[in-house]
Amino acid sequence: MENKKKVAKPEGKLAVLIPGLGAVSTTLMAGVELARQGKGAPIGSLTQMGTARLGKRTDGRTVKLKELVPLATLEDVVFGAWDIISEDAYQVAVRSGVLTDKHLEQVKPFLQGIKPKPGVHDPEFVRRIAANHIKATKTHRESIEAIRQDIRDFKKELNAKRAVMVVCSSVETFRPLPEAFQTLANFEKALDANSPDINPTALYTYAAIKEGVPFANGTPNASVDTPALQEMAKLEGVPVAGRDLKSGQTMMKTVIAPALKARMLGLEGWFSTNILGNRDGEVLDDPQAFKAKEVTKSSVLDTILQPDLYPELYNKYSHKVSIHYYPPRGDAKEGWDNIDITGWLGYPMQIKVNFLCRDSILAAPLVLDIALFLDLAKRMEWRGIQEWMSFYFKSPMAHPGLPVEHDLFIQLTKLKNTLRVVAGEEPITHLGLDYYGDDLPLAR
C-alpha cells in the first residue's frame, strides 16, 4: 500500500495542558521525567512500548508505534495545569501517596516548578473539595477568555509550539444532558445567559477548541461527548476524544465480556464494587458525582454483549456497580467482580475477579498516549471525533448513528490499523488464508 498520509513533523515542544492537578496528572508528570532521566520505564504506554506488525507474518516486519508514525518524543513534552487547590505538583504528589519517596526526590525540583493556574470552579458541580485557587471571573464568557489567555501564556512560558488539553479533574455531579448541549447555537445562548447548566469542564472544552487545541476528556463530565461541542470541534477543525479513562475495573470488563460472547456463554449477573481512598474517591462519595461515574462504568456490557442479537444469553442479566470511599486505601484501589454465567444446558458457573490495582499508575500512561495521538491527529489536520482512540475510554464517542465499539481487542485493532494506514501500510485482517494455498482454496 503506497499511500502514506501527509503528516507535519512534530517540531518543537508540545505542551500537555491538564485541568486537574491531582494524583493522575502528577504521576504522569513524574513518570515522564523519570523516563527521561533513565530512572523508570514507561510501562503501560502504547506510544512508548507498543509495536505493530507490518505485512504478512512471514515478512518478519514489526516496528514500534513511535517509529511507524511521527509522534512527539518524551524529550519534547512539557506540562501546564489548572487546579482549584493552590499546591504545586510536588505537594500534590506527596499528598496523593502514589509514588515512593525515592522517586519523588529524584524529580522534586521538576515537580515543584509545575504550579497550577487558578481553576474554574462551581461548587454545585464539585461539592466535596474546599477550593482555594479559583479564577475571579464572574461569567462563563469571562472564564472562557481567561482559560484561552492561560493557554497562550502556557505556550509562551513553556516555549511550546503546539498544545493539547486532557482533562483529569474531579468528577462533577451528574445531570441529564440539558437542552443547552444539544446544538452549538443553544450552547452559545446558554453561555451568554450564564446558565447554571454549563459545567466547568465544558468551559475548558470550549476554550481549548476556540484556541485550536486538541482536546480529550479523561473524566465522565459533560464535554465533547455532547452534540454542541462536537459540532464546534468540526467547525474549528480540532480533533477531540473522550470520555472517562478506561483504566481498571472497566478495562477488565472489556476483556472478559468479549470472551463470554465469543464462546456464547450466557450471563445471569455481574456485580462490581470498588474501594478507593484518594481525592477521586472522596469526590465520588457524593451520590450525584458517583452517578456520573456509574453511567460510564455501566455502559460497556450491553454494547459488547448485544442482547438484541442474543436475547436468550444476555437479555435479562443483572448489573450492579458501586464505589465506596475508604481513606486507608489511598490510591491503591481494589475492585471485586462476581460474574454469574451459564454454560451448556444452562448449568451455572461463576467467575470472580479481585483486582488490586493502583489507579493513577494505570491511568497516567493513558493520558500520555492520548496527548501524543491527539497531537498526531492535529498535525494530520483531522478534526472532530477520533473514534480510533476509543481504546482509552470507558464511554468512547462515535459518529452519530454509529454503534460504539467497547471490545478492547477490536479497539486495539482499530487503533493500530489506523496508524498502519497513516504510514502507508496495509491494514491487517488476520484472515490468513493465503498462507495455505491449495489446502484452503477460495475458488473452484
Mean pLDDT by groups of 10 residues along the chain of 444 residues: 80 98 97 98 98 95 97 98 98 96 98 98 90 96 98 98 97 91 98 97 98 97 96 98 93 96 98 86 73 71 94 96 88 92 98 94 97 98 98 94 94 98 95 88 72
Same domain, 336 and 392: no
- Which pLDDT belongs to residue 103? 98
Same domain, 166 and 295: no
Report yes or no on 438 lying in a domain. Answer: no
Report yes or no on 433 lying in a domain. Answer: no
Report yes or no on 7 lying in a domain. Answer: no
Same domain, 168 and 241: yes
Report yes or no on 132 lying in a domain. Answer: yes
- Which pLDDT belongs to residue 444? 57
Please tell me the distance from the alpha carbon of residue 220 to that of residue 360, in angstroms, as a whole number: 16
Q: What are phi and psi of 247, to 5 degrees?
A: -120, -45
Domain boundary among 356, 375, 397: 356
Full domain range(s) for residue 273:
249-356
Q: For the chain, give me the number of helices (H) and strands (E)? A: 17, 13
Same domain, 311 and 380: no
Same domain, 105 and 227: yes
DSSP state of 289: H
The CATH number of the domain holding residue 338 is 3.30.360.10
Cα dist. 358→35, 37, 329 in Å? 19, 23, 10
- Which pLDDT belongs to residue 2? 60
- Which pLDDT belongs to residue 184? 98
C-alpha cell at 147: 482559560
- Spatial CB neighbours of 408, under 8 Å, sequence gap ≥ 6: 246, 251, 254, 255, 258, 391
Tell me the whole-structure pTM to 2 decimals.
0.94
Same domain, 147 and 25: yes
Strands (E), 65-159: 77-83, 117-118
Domain boundary among 315, 337, 356: 356
Domain boundary among 328, 356, 384: 356
Same domain, 184 and 302: no
Report yes or no on 6 lying in a domain. Answer: no
Cα dist. 290→15, 156, 197, 280, 373 in Å? 31, 38, 18, 10, 29
Report yes or no on 213 lying in a domain. Answer: yes
The CATH number of the domain holding residue 175 is 3.40.50.720
Report yes or no on 264 lying in a domain. Answer: yes
C-alpha cell at 422: 497513516
Same domain, 264 and 364: no
- Which pLDDT belongs to residue 296? 65
Q: Look at phi and psi of residue 415 and say left if phi exceeds 0, alpha if psi is from -120 to 50, else beta.
A: alpha
In whole angstroms, what separates CA 441 from the centre of its chain?
Answer: 44
- Which pLDDT belongs to residue 329? 85
Same domain, 188 and 279: no
Report yes or no on 437 lying in a domain. Answer: no
Sheet holding 77-83, edge to edge: 117-118, 77-83, 13-19, 160-167, 215-217, 239-242, 384-385
Same domain, 236 and 290: no
Please tell me the distance from the alpha carbon of residue 381 to that of residue 7, in angstroms, as a whole number: 8
Same domain, 233 and 286: no
| Domains of the chain: total | 2
Q: Is the peptide bond before 152 cis (omega within 30 degrees of 0)?
A: no
Same domain, 149 and 117: yes
In terms of Cβ atoms closer than 10 Å to its own Cβ (0-12, 13-18, 19+), residue 260 is buried
